[in-house]
Structure 1
């Protein structure tokens, strides 16, 4: 994880300082606390100036400060992880590996081939000195944030950065679209004193006809959000990047309204773990489940082992558990996505190393809390409440226990139940269940101080709820149980695993059921295709900025290229069956996988979004809609402008 930034000006010296001020420097340093450096390149003929700023969070290989510069004056900024496609040795740093490969590229085709081969999240900025070219972009899914901001037409300057700063300006930050890789010919732009962007788009097929269609669609989509004085054009050679995943299989069974398993749904009245066993008795289904387990297991393995561990972690004999620290954390609700990730991480994280389970809850006002405990309280929630909640605070002082019970939100209850399942699977592991309790006062204060600037340029009520919940969860400051007591704890883990991508691919959201009822499997296929197409702008840039603010790196196993390709290869009927009840039909394939490697009650928990499970959505106005512009995220009041 790194914070990267580049400011380019074609005219005024003042423009660099307009973009690169103390505020944005502070935000970048929070992302990369281990090293911070700046480099300025001034070119007189043609006249332009570039500032490069790199801030490193050291996670693998040797510590490598950024920006990197070679003997030919090329400059490289990298915020990414190579998990496959390009070899990175155990002691190598992927920033240096990438820079070495880029320096040996002799053409645009070579550069595109290199980035097409990568597996893993990335954003980058590369200055090719001999050709006065600036290359930049994000990976196919947009798992790493990169923003751009353009000055007015007169100044001819722009900025690229992992995160925005405070600017009292009409020129807004926007996310660089994850539509391909961009290139700017700085020599030509300096001559004309105007900015032109060249795009090399992602495409499944690079045939001439397919490329023509892609160019038209992508140009329209990207151009509409650019300032009028910024020109966007396709590269003259019609070159493109090869998409790292295969297209979605849209095959529909002949009985078009049904999925395999519909006959079972007619006799299912009560959802239970045994319900899943009936599916696993079918040989074809079981084989498919094991293929999915294998590919997802490998994705988690890459993400928990590709990180630096101190020398003392290499000593495996008679470890002193109390002195061990966690290197891996999971955003943990006890739901099926986080349970699967935690259970698979357990297979690869060294056994003497704790795993932190980060569970966030927002304190409710008394009247709200009482409503929340009666409304939509399913039998399964009641069972989990009886299992966990009553004995959670039995050894605490009565006043303290009463206060903490205000944080017994749904995700806290299912989280504790999930902890018990994980302890049953591996009792020798130290599972740090971190109870992260947020009061309305702290939420308001931290949203104002930093969270809203990280969510920017997104601005909806939904972005506010999810962004705030993830920020507090990934910060990892809370309490862990220790011999009947709750003790303060702050997670030291630099890697944070998150389950995003499971719902988008396996029909996990309630809107997928609505779509299925209205339009059948054909409509559901279109909805799922759209989910992955928009995940970069809807979720991932925001989540990367939020988690990165704590000097931690978000990693997304469900968005591993091999996982996505495997799921894309299957017809929807093999992944979900929305004729079945909630808690089984959505994400059916994942539930079966979880059951197969030993999970129990969590395998039949219905989907519950973090804003509802953590109860943050209950703290604000009930009249708000998720898609409304959120007034709490406004960066400046009218008086400040």
Structure 2
């Protein structure tokens, strides 16, 4: 994980030095291991490159930005998991830079970058052609914000993270539909990157799965293939992480862990590819939520007549007198599921990290979180950013044994596995049932395609900025392009079945896979959104009716 800041300046209104310093500081938190910058000029244009680095690949120090004597410059924030032959000892950014230097045309640069698989953002300056290329990977797993030149701010900026709203820029998330190329002042798109098309074949009245214990013949190979694809994706994302800065035997991998099927499956597969002498940290977040406490003690204020509701809101419950419990839904399922992992993988030390967030602490962090997630700024954005922020910080408590006392613990892991993507690819959302009732299987296919198409523009950039603010890197095994391609090619009735009950029909193929590897409890657990499972949503009395797309103040 790295932080990238790039600017093209020309004319009488350069970027203010104060703004660049603030953006450099914000990007430095993403890459605490090293920071460096380099500049160059082309005619009257000044190009400046800054990179902060979180070293997670290779055995030797490699300075960024990558540059050579010919004037080529690469800022690289990503992981090459496939497409380039890279040993565990080599730095993927250096190898990619070497490949890019061999290209003499725009098409060559495009094809070189198009051959790699992994989460990435890059800015590459090709001196010979005086062209600058920049892009996010096709699924948008890393953040890059851009400011296009305006009359008031006639400079171009690209940055991994913002400092919140600012008069000198108007930031937007860079789209993922192509590789952008600047011919110093002329912005154009190269070749569009294609996202996989969902298989549109429909089988009349496909057979139903009766229960998770019996895998039908037509699904057996698909279940095995999903396990194999997902296992390989996890392996590529955990196999070459440098030793923990805390020393040998410390956790290098953590999982954003709710106890749901997605995070549990990733944790189980990671067990096969992480050194047995190291723990795997399971990060589980719970919030003190005054609105939930009020509802628990006094009932649902929102259901009262308006007069009584106003009276209650004017005289809120003194919840400081109530014993605060962090037994939120995700905490309870997480505690259940870690025991299943311990039964199946007894040789592994599983650190179940209880991250409890008092209300006052979450409110004190709001301004920081809102600045990091900008330009995303809805109620839903904040509800999702809050648990990710505190999970990535990784400060909590663990028990040496299930009945032992809690002890303070901060995870040393810098790679966090995230189960995002399974709901979009495998039909995990409840609205798919409504779609099926209204439009049948073809409606489900259209909905799955819509979900896949908007993955790059929804949460990933925001999540990357939030998690990376603590010098951590999120990796998404479900969003490996090989996993995405495999699931896109499967007929829809092999992935999900809205005719079946909840806990079986949604993400049916993943449930069968989890049951096959022995995750009995996880395989039948119903989906629960992170903001509701952790109680990070709508914390204040009276906020229960605020919709997710409502802009925060």
Query: Fold match, TM over 0.5?
Result: yes
**Higher helix fraction (1 or 2):** 1
Aligned counterpart, 1:248: 198
> Which deviations, in whole Å up to 9, do the C-alpha atoms of 1:180-229 show, x marking residues without a partner?
1100111xx3xxxxxx31102435xxxxxxxxxxxxxxxxxxxxxxxxxx
Query: Matched residues in 2 for 1:415 and 1:5: separation?
Result: 38
Query: Matched residues in 1 for 2:499 and 2:243: separation?
Result: 46
Contact 1:332 1:357 in 2 (8 A): yes
Q: Secondary structure at the match of 1:148?
A: strand
Aligned counterpart, 1:7: 7
Q: How does 1:238-317 map to 2 (within 5 A)?
A: 243=194, 246-255=196-205, 259-261=206-208, 264=210, 275-278=211-214, 280=215, 282-309=216-243
How far the C-alpha of 1:113 sits from its partner, in A, is: 0.9
Query: Matched residues in 1 for 2:298 and 2:341: separation?
Result: 26
Query: Matched residues in 1 for 2:144 and 2:202: separation?
Result: 37
Aligned counterpart, 2:436: 516
Contact 1:368 1:618 in 2 (8 A): no
Match of 2:50 among 53, 63, 79: 53
Aligned counterpart, 1:35: 34
Match of 2:545 among 623, 633, 636: 623
- Which 5+ residue runs of structure 2 have no aligned equivalent? 301-321
> Which deviations, in whole Å up to 9, do the C-alpha atoms of 1:130-160 show, x marking residues without a partner?
2221110100001110000134226531100
Contact 2:290 2:359 in 1 (8 A): no
Q: Secondary structure at the match of 2:408?
A: strand
2:275 corresponds to 1:350: yes
Q: How does 1:485-504 map to 2 (within 5 A)?
A: 485-504=405-424
Aligned counterpart, 2:479: 559
Query: Matched residues in 2 for 1:310 and 1:458: separation?
Result: 33
Structure 1 stretch 130-139 or stretch 606-615: which is displaced more? 130-139
Aligned counterpart, 1:472: 390
Distance 1:5 1:312, change over 3 A: closer
> Which deviations, in whole Å up to 9, do the C-alpha atoms of 1:298-323 show, x marking residues without a partner?
0001111131126998xxxxxxxxx7
Q: Secondary structure at the match of 1:202?
A: coil
Query: Matched residues in 2 for 1:303 and 1:519: separation?
Result: 38
Query: Matched residues in 2 for 1:464 and 1:151: separation?
Result: 29
Query: Matched residues in 2 for 1:339 and 1:374: separation?
Result: 34
Contact 2:245 2:412 in 1 (8 A): no
> Which deviations, in whole Å up to 9, do the C-alpha atoms of 1:568-596 show, x marking residues without a partner?
11011000011111111000000000000
Distance 1:601 1:310, change over 3 A: closer
Contact 1:506 1:587 in 2 (8 A): yes
Q: Secondary structure at the match of 1:95?
A: helix
2:457 corresponds to 1:537: yes
> Which deviations, in whole Å up to 9, do the C-alpha atoms of 1:225-283 show, x marking residues without a partner?
xxxxxxxxxxxxxxxxxx4x64210111123xxx4317x4xxxxxxxxxx2013x1x23
Contact 1:39 1:52 in 2 (8 A): yes
Q: Secondary structure at the match of 1:339?
A: helix
Query: Matched residues in 2 for 1:373 and 1:56: separation?
Result: 50
2:498 corresponds to 1:602: no
> Which deviations, in whole Å up to 9, do the C-alpha atoms of 1:49-89 show, x marking residues without a partner?
01110100000102222111101011110001000011111
Match of 2:289 among 358, 364, 384: 364
2:371 corresponds to 1:453: yes
Q: How does 1:35-114 map to 2 (within 5 A)?
A: 35-43=34-42, 46-61=43-58, 62-114=60-112
Query: Matched residues in 1 for 2:270 and 2:152: separation?
Result: 53
> Taking structure 1 as the reference length, what is the TM-score of the superposition?
0.79
Q: Secondary structure at the match of 1:424?
A: helix
Contact 1:69 1:75 in 2 (8 A): yes
Aligned counterpart, 1:197: 187
Query: Matched residues in 1 for 2:292 and 2:121: separation?
Result: 46
- Which 5+ residue runs of structure 1 have no aligned equivalent? 190-195, 204-242, 265-274, 314-322, 376-401, 632-641
> Taking structure 2 as the reference length, what is the TM-score of the superposition?
0.91
How far the C-alpha of 1:618 sits from its partner, in A, is: 4.2
Distance 1:311 1:473, change over 3 A: closer
The count of residues paired between Structure 1 and Structure 2 equals: 527
> Which deviations, in whole Å up to 9, do the C-alpha atoms of 1:453-492 show, x marking residues without a partner?
1111111111110011111112111000124110010011
Structure 1 stretch 358-367 or stretch 56-65: which is displaced more? 358-367
Query: Matched residues in 2 for 1:165 and 1:559: separation?
Result: 28
RMSD, matched Cα:
2.1
